[in-house]
């Protein structure tokens, strides 16, 4: 612990509770902001014209009825919101060796597929209230299937929020944490901020009216900040990917994914050159990532670098919870460890080659751990075979972009698996004497706790040494996140379950039944049908009582309460949607670790030896681990020493000097 620490500590004390600190967190990159400002101008212009037309003709008028395609193109041009042109640089041979940082050109025919700052794709058409951009629930009093939609906060309180969670007996907390971590490699949907909407002077924190970009959540309770509703910012719109008579879908509001959808360790390296440069140790000439220059852990191991007083990593959500910081820190260390070994093996490699080769390995490890160790436990072995199956090589016809329903509903299944307690364990895997367990809300945006409270080890032991919460139909989303969640730009507690439901409506996701049909599952027509598929009869009754019509059930809620498939943590709908998405992320990725020509056979067999347990052994003070850290094991009887955990032999990366690097 350096002497700097104490000065820094005071600074933390003063600022950690201040809301302005939050503006440094979950921040979107300037590139993303520019894109969504243009999209806001474009969408707002169309909206204004549409509203005028509605007043005049006394009915809903769709944009193609109102404007010619030339008009639309002109508006897009003036808004600087033209479809992104395809760069014709994708044939360059240097794009064969390593991924671009933005994901561009992964697919040579469709360079934007899976790239950062492209729209979330639709697997089913959007269902806006006005057909184009007003979400369901926007026009109060508007009926859906003859009834009004229930308020997300009411649904949350009556069905989702739970004060207790039981533990399950198979998996460790790592299964939950890996879900959040890898979700942050796949999608990040940026939100508009109050100032983003051109010409709008409305402050979303102080209004209960639906005025772009504010879509406040009604429900007059304690979370409403005294004004009767909870603030909510709509997700930013995307610019159209195509304009022309056959692309009316592009005139509908679409949402952005600001990061690469590929499982490419963008969580570690970022998704823009600027961020990547910040994260690299360019002056060290060693291919490593930059580390924190003010603090290191008690054993001299590095922390993530700071920006202001928060950690900075490839994904801006890193500070949200201490468990995320812990996983990010492990990967930073693993990069630097591998880079060092590769430099020893290939002394002739340039720093750039060391960096890129290490990045390639780290990307592959993210893919292996996700697809081999994580996904089958989530959707079950049978669904894995049904929706994903064995690898058959790169398929350039597959679009690997994240789908809207995956990011906005299916992969948020994880919110029902959040533990209300963060366990911090000592070397005997008992509650730490100095750093006690914490209620989850005390771990939000608390990077200082890692530095001041024993480094990552107490949290890491808690992640592998405590059981994941069981998923019960009547104990769904922990009160720690329905009553005490902290998010960017909102200086009061918010409710994650309400945000998820409102987000689904904001994005115009079709209802639960439409998605069941998409997955070939039967339609729910009656209470008895619902009772068949939902784990708990009382929950099924409550749902129909609130929604009144089964077609209105929000997809996130419906998916969440389904009977779990055997040996899985999801019901049939989410297993289908997650399975389909994972398949596209694998088959549509030219750099998938198993794709031909990406790694040699020998390298592949080394990569396959990797595991989270090994990464913990190599990059922390923990020297006894479970053989499989995703499974809960008894300490010490079922733990093994690190010497028994297989590790990659990086000799497989040795290259003759003549073949050179970059
Ligand atoms: C302590 C744990 C967690 C917290 C505090 C948290 C919090 C949040 C918040 C605030 C959002 C944005 C909500 C909105 O306004 O729409 C979000 C989005 C999301 N979360 Fe979580 N989450 C946690 C765990 C998880 C887990 C375990 C998973 C999955 C296994 C997950 C998957 C997602 C996904 C897929 C999104 C949407 C990402 C995007 O496209 O922007 N989260 N989460
Ligand atoms: Ca990614």
ipTM above 0.90, yes or no: yes
Q: Which two tokens stand for residue 257?
A: 């994914």
191 CA closest ligand 1 atom index: 15
Q: With a 6 A CB cut-off, is 607 part of the ligand 1 pocket?
A: no
Nearest ligand for residue 233 CA: 1
**Per-residue confidence (pLDDT) for residue 461, from 0 to 100:** 98
Q: Is the CB of 188 under 6 A from ligand 1?
A: yes
| Separation of first and last alpha carbons in the chain | 39
Could you tell me the distance, in angstroms and rounded to a whole number, from the CA of residue 413 to the centre of ligand 1?
9
Low-confidence ranges of the chain (pLDDT < 50): 1-26, 196, 660-662
Residue nearest to atom 24 of ligand 1 (CA): 180
| Residue with CA nearest ligand 1 atom 25 | 180
DSSP 8-state assignment for residue 641: E
CA distances in angstroms from 13 to 8, 448, 452, listed in the order given: 9, 9, 12
Residue partners of 524: CB distance under 8 A and separation at least 6: 512, 513, 516, 530, 533, 550, 553, 558
What are 54's two structure tokens? 């509605």
Ligand 1, closest atom to CA 177?
A: 27
Ligand nearest to the CA of 263: 2
User: In degrees rounded to 5, what are phi and psi of residue 8?
Assistant: -65, -35
pLDDT of residue 203: 85
Taking each continuous run of H as one helix and of E as one strand, the counts in the chain are: 24, 16
Atom 2 in ligand 1: residue holding the nearest Cα: 418
Q: How far is the CA of 64 from the centre of ligand 1 (A)?
A: 36
Q: Are 98 and 360 in contact (CB under 8 A)?
A: yes
- 335 is annotated as contributing to ligand binding: no
Cα 267 to ligand 2 centre (Å)? 7
Residue 528 Cα distances to 540, 566, 662, angstroms: 9, 22, 64
Look up residue 31 and give its DSSP letter: H
Answer yes or no: are the C-beta atoms of 112 and 99 closer than 8 Å: no
Instruction: Looking at the CA of residue 232, tell me the nearest atom of ligand 1.
Output: 15
Select the CATH number that applies to the domain covering 30-624 from these four: 3.40.50.410, 1.10.10.10, 1.10.640.10, 3.40.50.300. 1.10.640.10
Please give the Cα distance from 256 to 278 (Å, whole number). 24
Distance in angstroms (rounded) separating the CA atoms of residues 429 and 462: 8
pTM: 0.94
pLDDT, one tens digit per residue, over 195-207 is 545 566 778 888 8
Distance (Å) from CA 359 to ligand 2 centroid: 12
Mutation probe of ligand 1 site: the residue of 415, 471, 569 with most atoms within 8 A of C-beta: 415
Give the ligand at the shortest distance from the Cα of 100.
Answer: 2
Q: Which of 4, 86, 184, 507 is catalytic?
A: 184
| Dist. CA 516–CA 523, nearest whole Å | 7
Q: What is the DSSP string of 340-406?
A: HHHHHH-TT--HHHHHHHHHHHHHHHHHHIIIIIIHHHHH-HHHIIIII-S-----TTS--SPBHHH
Cα–Cα distance between 288 and 338 in angstroms, integer?
Answer: 9
Could you please report the per-residue DSSP string of 445-492?
T-HHHHHHTTTTHHHHHHHHHSEEEP-BTTB-EEHHHHTSEEETTEEE
Is 184 considered catalytic here?
A: yes
Q: Kindly state the helix (H) or strand (E) to which residue 230 belongs, with its residue range.
A: strand 229-230
Query: Is the backbone peptide bond immediately before 636 cis, with ω within 30 degrees of 0?
Result: yes
Q: Is 411 in the pocket of ligand 1 (CB under 6 A)?
A: yes
Measured in Å, residue 180 CA sits from the centre of ligand 1 at 7
Tell me, what DSSP letter sits at residue 19?
G
Ligand 1 and 183: CB distance under 6 A: yes
Best mutation site among 261, 412, 440, 581 for ligand 1 pocket (most ligand atoms within 8 Å of CB): 412
Between the CA of residue 333 and those of 179, 324, 496, 550, 642, what are the distances in Å? 20, 14, 31, 49, 17
What is the three-class DSSP state of 207?
Answer: coil
Q: Is the CB of 405 under 6 A from ligand 1?
A: no
Which is nearest to 200 in space by CA: 190, 192, 208? 192
CA of 264 to the centre of ligand 2 (A): 5
Ligand 1 pocket check for 117: Cβ under 6 Å: no
Residue 327 Cα, ligand 2 centroid: separation in angstroms? 16
pLDDT value for 659: 53
Q: Pairing mode, if any, of strands 161-162 and 477-478?
A: parallel
pLDDT at 162: 85
User: Ligand 1, from 174, 490, 496: best to mutate by most atoms within 8 Å of Cβ?
Assistant: 496
Considering every ligand atom, which ligand is closest to the CA of 261? 2
pLDDT at residue 309, as a whole number: 85
CA 194, CA 191: separation in Å to the nearest integer? 10
pLDDT at position 460 is 98
Determine if ligand 1 sits within 6 Å of the CB of residue 477: no
Q: Which two tokens stand for residue 258?
A: 């600001």
Ligand 1 neighbour 379 (Cβ under 6 A): no
Burial of 378 (0-12, 13-18, 19+ CB in 10 A): buried
Angle (CA) 249-252-258 rounded to 5° is 95
State how far the Cα of 323 lies from the Cα of 462, in Å rounded to an integer. 9
Task: Establish whether residue 418 lines the binding site of ligand 1, counting it when its CB lies within 6 angstroms of any ligand atom.
Answer: yes
- DSSP class of 564: P
Q: Which atom of ligand 1 is nearest to the CA of 440?
A: 1
């Amino acid at each position: 612990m350096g002497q700097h620490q104490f000065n820094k500590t005071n600074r933390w004390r003063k600022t950690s509770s201040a809301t302005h600190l939050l503006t440094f967190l979950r921040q979107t990159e300037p590139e993303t902001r520019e894109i969504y400002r243009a999209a806001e101008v474009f969408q707002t212009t169309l909206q204004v014209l549409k509203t005028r037309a509605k007043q005049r003709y006394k009915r809903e008028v769709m944009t193609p009825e109102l404007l010619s395609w030339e008009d639309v193109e002109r508006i897009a041009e003036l808004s600087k919101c033209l479809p992104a042109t395809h760069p014709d640089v994708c044939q360059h041979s240097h794009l064969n060796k390593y991924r671009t940082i933005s994901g561009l050109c992964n697919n040579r025919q469709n360079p934007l597929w899976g790239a950062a700052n492209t729209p979330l794709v639709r697997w089913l058409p959007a269902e806006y209230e006005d057909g184009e951009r007003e979400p369901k629930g926007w026009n109060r009093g508007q009926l859906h299937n003859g009834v009004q939609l229930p308020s997300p906060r009411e649904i949350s309180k009556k069905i989702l929020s739970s004060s207790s969670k039981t533990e399950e007996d198979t998996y460790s907390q790592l299964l939950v944490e890996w879900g959040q971590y890898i979700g942050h490699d796949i999608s990040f949907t940026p939100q508009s901020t109050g100032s983003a909407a051109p010409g709008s002077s409305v402050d979303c924190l102080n209004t209960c009216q639906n005025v772009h970009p504010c879509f406040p959540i009604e429900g007059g309770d304690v979370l409403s900040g005294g004004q009767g509703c909870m603030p909510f910012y709509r997700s930013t719109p995307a610019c159209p990917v195509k304009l022309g008579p056959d692309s009316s879908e592009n005139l509908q509001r679409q949402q952005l994914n600001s990061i690469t959808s590929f499982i490419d360790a963008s969580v570690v390296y970022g998704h823009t050159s600027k961020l990547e440069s910040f994260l690299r140790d360019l002056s060290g000439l060693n291919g490593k990532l930059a580390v924190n220059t003010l603090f290191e852990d008690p054993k001299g191991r590095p922390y993530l670098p700071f920006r202001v007083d928060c950690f900075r990593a490839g994904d801006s959500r890193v500070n949200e919870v201490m468990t995320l910081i812990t996983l990010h820190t492990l990967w930073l260390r693993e990069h630097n460890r591998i880079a060092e070994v590769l430099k020893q093996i290939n002394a002739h490699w340039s720093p750039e080659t060391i960096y890129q080769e290490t990045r390639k390995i780290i990307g592959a490890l993210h893919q292996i751990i996700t697809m081999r160790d994580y996904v089958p436990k989530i959707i079950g072995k049978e669904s894995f075979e049904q929706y994903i199956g064995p690898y058959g090589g790169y398929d350039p016809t597959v679009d690997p972009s994240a789908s809207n329903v995956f990011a906005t509903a299916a992969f948020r299944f994880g919110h029902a698996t959040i533990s209300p307690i963060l366990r911090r364990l000592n070397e005997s895997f008992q509650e730490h004497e100095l750093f006690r367990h914490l209620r989850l809300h005390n771990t939000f945006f608390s990077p200082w706790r890692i530095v001041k409270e024993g480094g990552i080890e107490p949290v890491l032991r808690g992640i592998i040494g405590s059981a994941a919460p069981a998923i019960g139909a009547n104990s769904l989303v922990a009160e720690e996140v329905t009553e005490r969640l902290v998010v960017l730009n909102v200086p009061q507690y918010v409710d994650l379950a309400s945000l998820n439901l409102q987000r689904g409506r904001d994005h115009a996701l079709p209802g639960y039944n439409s998605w069941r049909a998409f997955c070939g599952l039967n339609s729910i027509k009656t209470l008895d049908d619902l009772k068949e598929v939902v784990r708990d009869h009382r929950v099924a009754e409550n749902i129909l009582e609130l929604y009144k019509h089964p077609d209105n059930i929000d997809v996130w809620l419906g998916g969440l309460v389904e009977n779990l498939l055997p040996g899985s943590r999801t019901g049939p709908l989410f297993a289908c949607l997650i399975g389909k998405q994972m398949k596209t992320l694998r088959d549509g990725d030219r750099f998938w670790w198993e794709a031909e020509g990406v790694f040699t056979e020998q390298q592949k067999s080394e990569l396959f030896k990797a595991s989270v347990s090994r990464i913990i052994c190599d990059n922390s003070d923990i020297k006894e681990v479970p053989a499989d850290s995703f499974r809960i094991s008894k300490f010490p009887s079922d733990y093994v020493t690190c010497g028994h955990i297989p590790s990659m032999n990086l000799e497989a990366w040795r290259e003759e000097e003549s073949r050179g690097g970059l």
